[in-house]
Structure 1
Amino acid sequence: MSFIRSINRLFNDYLAWIVLAMAVIAFLVPEIFMGAAKQTVPLLQLVMFSMGLTLTGKVFLDVFKQPWQVILVSLIQFLWMPLAGWLVGNLFGFPPEIALGFILLGAAPGGTASNVMTFLANGNVPLSVSATTVSTLLAPVLTPIFIVLYAGQTVDIAFWPMFMSIVKIIAVPIALGIIVNYFIGSRIEPVKEVLPTVGAVAVLIILAGVTAVSRDNILAHGVMIFLACLVQNVSGYVVTYFICRLFGSNVPDRRAMQIEVAMQNSALAASLALKHFTPQAAVAGAVFSIIHNFTGSIFAGICRRNDSKSTH
């Protein structure tokens, strides 16, 4: 078990660098990972099933203990981030299918990496886990709605096929995980120890596959794609900061909410792009995976340094 914990700690401590390394390898030798892009759906289902296995009654009780905060972060996430994606796509003048990728990102729920970053930032981890769970469960309905709202006039979007895809990718695996955990959870504790690493590896393979198939499009748009992803990502931190200050949220809560809004489920966005649209729409998801892990690591580091100063 100590070996598994060491591997989990390795992913937690060096997640940003591991993501960058995987993206660089996939970019330089894309032929290695081309097949991985076709496995994004089963890999995401594995991640969601793993998430379901970790969900207990306590997580849902935490939602009721701080409902207004979970509601607030969900409102910010689904109201601001899709709008931010639409604004970024227009501000940078991307072609419709590239711009669609930013709307897909904005309409996606929070990513599980946000829970890790919240922990590293000394934020409110139960709030982060609750918010990720709630936004993920809302995604089958809200994600297609906001994609249609912001992109329906420029790109042909089939609402119900996308809704069913998200149900199959998110709702069904999570429900199965919860059921398995309820009946035999106590007997599979060793398996649960491995879940963070399994999830991280699955997301890395998805990132590599999407980067491989998006290589030419990333080259075509270069720095602008990275800059646009950075703008959308940072906007989540900034907008959430001011809203939290307005509502008087304490520091740990505010950090959790900032990270939750800014760190989207880019793997889901890329998967939907490849399944329902084109590889061009997946470019933003591939680049965002790199950007939000780096900014999340930097944000967590700043938070920890500030806490260290305040205790001395």
Structure 2
Amino acid sequence: MKTLASFSAFVGKTFALWVILFAVLGFVFPDVFKLVAPYIVILLGIIMFGMGLTISVDDFRELGRRPVEVAIGVVAHFVIMPALALLLTRIIPMPPEVAAGVILVGCCPGGTSSNVMTYLAKGDVALSVACTSVTTLAAPIVTPFLVWMFASQYLPVNAWAMFIGIVQVIILPLALGFIAQKLLPQLVRGATPILPLISVIGIVLIVAAVVGVSKGAIAQSGLLIFAVVVLHNGLGYLLGFFAAKAFGLNLYKRKALAIEVGMQNSGLGAALATAYFSPLAAVPSAIFSVWHNISGALIANYFSGRTDDAEADTAIAE
């Protein structure tokens, strides 16, 4: 078990490399990973069940302790990323399926990778976790509404079906994981060390499946989609940072909100796009999964060496 836990920790730390590797494998061996495509929703449900096993009441206490700061992060996330996605689809010509996919990933909740990157950046991890938790719980309402509002001009959007789908693939597995954590605490504690491995396996298989199914489209317009994803992600970090600064938050908290805004639950985006749009619409989410782990590590490394007096005081106090 110790060996498996050590391997799980190693895989978790090298997550970005595994995502890149399986994206390449999905492109080179599309027929193999096409077989995984029908199970994308199930894989995401397993990932969210694992998140439910680790989520705690303490994650939501930050909402009570610092409601304004959490609200800033949540609102910034659901305003900045969808608005950027809409802007990019307006100024950069792209097929309707790709445009809808860009908007969809922009309307997704925060990804749990943001919590890890915030830790590496020496930012406010508690604030990051609270924002991720709240955006995830708000996703069944907010994500379908925003997708309907912004993406209907490109493809038909069934917001009600998307709401049901998010409840099934996000909220229900989260709730089951949380219940299992309370009913079987010893078993869950024993399984916790291998959860990173399970999450990484789920994400890389989702990415490889989307890439495999969409190989032709990626070969034709992959560079365009990659450029859009890089711009979307990078501007998300930048505007998230300055939104936090505009509200007077110190650098410690600005790091958390910059990363929280810029990183998305792109696995959810890929699952929703595959289920309700088309495989091509899932490509922006798949590329986002690859890129945001690379850019997140880079920005975390940049942020980790930068502190200010207010940040140090806050870190000590919390």
Bin the TM-score by the shorter chain. over 0.9
C-alpha contact 2:155 2:277 (8 A) present in aligned 1: no
CA shift in 2, pair 1:287/1:260, >3 Å = same
The whole-number CA distance in structure 1 between the counterparts of 2:153 and 2:222 is 27
User: Which residue does 1:138 correspond to in 2?
Assistant: 138
Quick one: distance in 2 between partners of 1:4 and 1:72? 39
Structure 1 residue 292 displacement after superposition: 0.7
What is the match of residue 253 of structure 2?
253
Cα separation, 2, equivalents of 1:8 and 1:173: 21
| 2:220 equivalent in structure 1 | 220
Residues 208 and 15 of structure 1: CA distance in aligned 2, closer, same or farther (over 3 Å): same
1:158 maps to 158
Deviation at 1:157, TM superposition (A): 1.0
Task: Kindly report structure 1 stretches of 4+ aligned residues shifted beyond 3 Å.
Answer: none
In the alignment, structure 1 residue 272 sits paired with structure 2 residue 269: no
The C-alpha deviation readout for 1:97-139, integer Å capped at 9, x for no partner, is 1100110011100111111111111121121111111101000
Deviation, structure 1 residue 187 = 3.9
Q: Which residue of structure 2 aligns with residue 123 of structure 1?
A: 123
Give the RMSD, CA atoms, in angstroms. 1.7
| Counterpart in the other structure of 2:180 | 180
Alpha-carbon offset, residue 18 of structure 1: 1.7
Any idea what SS the aligned residue of 1:33 has?
Answer: helix
Separation (CA, whole Å) in 2 of partners of 1:57 and 1:269: 27
Q: Structure 2: which amino acid aligns with 1:128? A: S
AA aligned opposite 1:129: V
For residues 114 and 95 of structure 1, the distance between their equivalents in structure 2, rounded to whole angstroms, comes to 29
Q: Which residue of 1 aligns with 2:97?
A: 97
Which amino acid in 2 is paired with 1:251?
L
1:173-221: CA deviation from partner (whole Å, max 9, x where unpaired): 1111111112222443111221122112111111111111121111111
Superposition deviation, residue 279 in structure 1: 1.1
In structure 2, the partner of 1:170 is 170
Q: Is the 8 A contact 1:53 1:185 kept in 2?
A: no
Give the stretch that moved more between structures: 227-236 or 18-27.
18-27
Equivalent in the alignment of 2:201 = 201
Q: CA deviation at 1:5?
A: 4.2
What displacement does 1:90 show?
Answer: 1.9
Counterpart position of 2:11: 11
Matches within 5 A, 1:2-151: 2-151=2-151
In the alignment, structure 2 segments of 5+ residues that lack a partner are: 313-318
With structure 1 as the length reference, what TM-score do the two structures score? 0.94
- Please give the alpha-carbon distance, in whole angstroms, between the structure 2 residues aligned to 1:61 and 1:3: 34
Instruction: Kindly tell me the number of residue pairs found equivalent between the two proteins.
Output: 309
Letter in 2 for 1:16: A
Contact 1:62 1:130 in 2 (8 A): yes
- 2:236 is the alignment partner of 1:236: yes
- Measured after TM superposition, the shift of residue 12 of structure 1 is 3.8
Q: Mean Cα displacement is larger for which, 113-122 or 165-174?
A: 113-122
CA distance in 1, matches of 2:10, 2:257: 25
Q: How many Å apart are 1:171 and its aligned residue?
A: 0.8
Q: After superposing the two structures, state which structure 1 stretch, 2-11 or 57-66, moved more.
A: 2-11
User: What letter is aligned with 1:188?
Assistant: V
| Structure-2-length-normalised TM-score | 0.93
Report the CA distance between 1:59 and its aligned residue: 1.3
**1:12–1:116: 8 Å Cα contact kept in structure 2?**
no
